[in-house]
A and B are shown apart, each in its own frame.
Chain A
Amino acid sequence: MLVLAPVLILGLSGIIFGAILAYASKIFSVKVDPRIDEIYEVLPGSNCGACGAPGCLGYAECIVTGRSEMDLCSPGGEDVLKIIAEILGTEAKEFVKMKAVVQCKGGKEEAKQLFEYNGIEDCSAAELVAGGGKACVYGCLGLGSCVRACPYNAMFMGPSELPVVIEELCTGCGLCVKACPRDIMKLVPVTQKIYLCCVSKDKGKAVKDVCTVGCTGCTLCANPKTTPSGDIVMDGNLPVINFTKNINLAAAVHKCPTNSFVQEIEFEPLGINENCDKCADKTAQLCVKTCPVKNCITLNEEKDIYRINQETCIGCRLCKPVCPKDAVELKTEEEVVVK
């Protein structure tokens, strides 16, 4: 009896509870769309919140119920988007991979310091207290809120107290953009290799007083002479880049007196071939006049044609369309080496 009773009681209650639970799971079963689980399986699972939904499961639910677009998962990128589209049975949209950029160059060397900020190590806190130690009210506060917000360790604080984005690790989730109280972080397409590195809305002198690399709004870059394509337009005191795939703004970068742009690729230098007839009329010098670099295109006395100095050429290609003889061409690698 003493052995049998506990075995019976526990065994019976186990069976009863099991039966009740099995029955209850049928009565109380909630039908869940199987696609939610399927999509959840392919999402990265880091719950970063870049899509705006509470976690990956929440986003999967939002996609299936139609509350969200399916291309909001930036960490997942194109691969995930394709699988999601397949699960939903729709066409995937073209996916533009984004990266975060830091739109401020004013490190501790370049930007003027008003006072030393000793408060909480957080940009939002500094912004609330006294706008941080920097004299520029638009510039990076340098306390690394964006670095702490990054779930992928794709950011670190550089030597000049400015955040640096490691492009290979950046998924373009945009959490740093939300963390920055001054809107210095921005998402741009990964193919965009040039961007303005200043967000100051102030006029020239006010910017110059607080920072050596701030955009003064001089409009040189937006000048049709520098950017004939019209890809840079002024919006207030800041130039805005209208990004297209085949953008070449080397001339604008070169012309910028404060060096406020960031350009991540080197453009290939150009050369002039034998077609050059020095524009027949020697006073024309069309290519020399358009070239934004001083003394880059000069007359070669020996061959009696114009030559592009390979050392100084920035590859802006402004001289190419103005040449009536079509003599400006891209140098092949061999020629560049031989010079």
Chain B
Amino acid sequence: MDLKLLLIIAIYSIFIQNFVLTRFLGLCPFIGVSKKMSSAVGMGFAVIFVMTLASAVTWFVYNYFLDPTSSILKYFSSNGTAPDLTFLRTIAFILVIASLVQFIEMFIQKTSPSLYRALGIYLPLITTNCAVFGVAVLNIDGNPTIGIEEKFTFIQSVVQGFSAGIGFLIILVLMSGLREKLEIKEVPESLKGVPIAFITAGLMAIAFLGFSGLSL
């Protein structure tokens, strides 16, 4: 296993191609849950958790059911070829992620009430979050900039899912810190609240553009 490539994937999805500020995924929780530091941290960890698991599960679904080259369906068909079902990936991934999140929520509620209380209200929010779906799709699209033309391997997918969650957490924590400070600053009346948060988000995105100069 190429550890260097895994590190590159991690740095790419945390900083250079950050899911929120460079890929513009998951903007809803980015604005909605970044008002308070404590809820931002809760949401961030819930996203890490779900992204990692979703990456793993969707990798199996894609490779063993949808992709004709590795599908297990070919053992059941008469001519030994599996149908190309890759066009189903959107609906299949949403189905898988939604049921997975529901299952995890129930599991946590039973096994760890304290963790449930910490993540509880944020977990259902992520069920159809586009960042979670985005990481699943990006895992099978590959990433030519880091030299992976085809789909990611299983380990690479999980690493990308985990580090995308880390990137999301970092941005959410940064943003909530800034917004908590903005609350007590003198902001022009018409810009108070969400408008100034959008401007701040734009400036942060420009700042993160600086990472694109990083060559690995």
Contacts and interface: CB of A to CB of B under 8 A. Distances in A.
Interface of A: 1-2, 5-6, 9-10, 13-14, 17-18, 20-21, 24-25, 27-30, 120-122, 125
Interface string B84-120: 0101100110011001001100110111010000000
Contacts of B77: 1
Nearest to B87: A6
Interface string B171-186: 0000000000000101
A10 B91 contact: yes
* Nearest 7 interchain pairs by C-beta: A28-B110, A17-B99, A28-B106, A5-B83, A24-B106, A6-B88, A120-B184
Contact of A21 (B65, B83, B99): B99
B61 to A, nearest CB: 8
What is the interface of chain A mostly: helix, strand, loop, or mixed?
helix
Nearest to B73: A5
Contact of B85 (A5, A14, A29): A5
A18 B102 CA distance: 10
Contacts of B85: 5-6, 9
Contacts of A24: 103, 106-107
Interface of B: 65, 73, 77, 83, 85, 87-88, 91-92, 95-96, 99, 102-103, 106-107, 109-111, 113, 184, 186
Nearest to B106: A28
A122 B88 CA distance: 55
A17 B95 contact: yes
B88 A10 contact: yes
What is the interface of chain B mostly: helix, strand, loop, or mixed?
helix
A9 B85 CA distance: 9
A1 B83 contact: yes
A125 B99 CA distance: 48
Contacts of A6: 85, 87-88
B83 A28 contact: no
Given A1-B83, A5-B73, A10-B91, 5 more contacts: A9-B88, A9-B92, A10-B92, A17-B95, A20-B103
Given A2-B83, A21-B103, A24-B103, A13 B109 contact: no
Nearest to A14: B95
Contacts of A9: 65, 85, 88, 92
Contacts of B65: 9
7 contacts: A1-B77, A13-B92, A20-B99, A20-B103, A21-B99, A28-B111, A125-B184
A25 B102 CA distance: 9
B81 to A, nearest CB: 10
A127 to B, nearest CB: 14
A6 B66 CA distance: 9
A10 B107 contact: no
B57 to A, nearest CB: 11
Nearest to B79: A1
B96, B99, B102 — most chain A CB neighbours (10 Å): B99
A268 B83 CA distance: 94
B83 A10 contact: no
Contacts of B107: 24, 28
A9 B76 CA distance: 13
A31 to B, nearest CB: 11
A42 B17 CA distance: 48
Contacts of A27: 110
Nearest to A122: B184
A1 B77 CA distance: 10
Nearest to A54: B117
B87 to A, nearest CB: 8
A5 B106 CA distance: 31
B88 A21 contact: no
Nearest to B111: A28
B84 to A, nearest CB: 8
A21 B95 CA distance: 12
Nearest to A120: B184
Nearest to B185: A120
A13 B102 contact: no
A10 B73 contact: no
A6 B113 CA distance: 38
A121 B113 CA distance: 40
B92 A21 contact: no
Contacts of B87: 6
B95 A13 contact: yes
A2 B87 CA distance: 11
Nearest to B66: A9
A122 B184 CA distance: 8
